[in-house]
Amino acid sequence: MNFITRSIALIALTSCATSALARDDIKEFSIADALATEQAKNILGDDIKFYFGDQPHGAIAKNFVQVGTNKKTNGVGKTDRQACEWAFLSAMKSLRERAQREGANAVVNIRSNYRNVTSSSTETFKCGSGAIMSGVALLGDVVVIK
């Protein structure tokens, strides 16, 4: 009987430890801070303009498509902020590349779409971080602005 009791206790402790490692935090980070880095300028260039949430922009001459992107990165050895900013820049790069392929000059109405829950902000983006990975999902409208 003592062996069975110890075995059950060990299984219960192992289950609790595994649950503790299964972190899934959703945080918001500054768009301005992420875009202000030299790395962001190198990755995104200046040929495509980006407008977040309901930021004002010029009149839309042509609307191509709504684009979604979901980028993940390894978070091991990085702070959540470092990993999330890298995933954000990867997602922004995907939006830029799609705009370039379409012949557009802007992506407007960019919003977070983490786990298919859309939220719009002119100041922050959402990022999910677990024990090993961090991810950012964005939606945006690829357009030509006059």
pLDDT, residue 16, reads 45
Write out pLDDT tens, residues 49-59: 999 999 999 99
Element (H, E) at 5: helix 2-21
pLDDT tens, position by position, 130-143: 999 999 999 999 99
Please tell me which residue, 21 or 109, carries the higher pLDDT value.
Answer: 109
Q: What is the pTM of this model?
A: 0.84
Number of neighbours of residue 71 by Cβ within 10 angstroms? 18
Q: Give yes or no for a contact between 91 and 136, defined as CB atoms under 8 angstroms apart.
A: yes
Which residue bears the tokens 């990022």? 127
Task: Round to whole Å and give the CA distance between 56 and 39.
Answer: 25
H/E element, 24? strand 24-30
Fold of 23-145: Translation Initiation Factor IF3 (3.30.110)
CA distance 140 to 68: 7
Tell me how far apart the alpha carbons of residues 135 and 128 are, in angstroms, rounded to a whole number: 5
Helix (H), strand (E) at residue 42? helix 38-44
Sequence ranges of the domains in the chain = 23-145
Residue-wise pLDDT for 72-130, tens only, equals 999 999 999 999 999 999 999 999 999 999 999 999 999 999 999 999 999 999 999 99
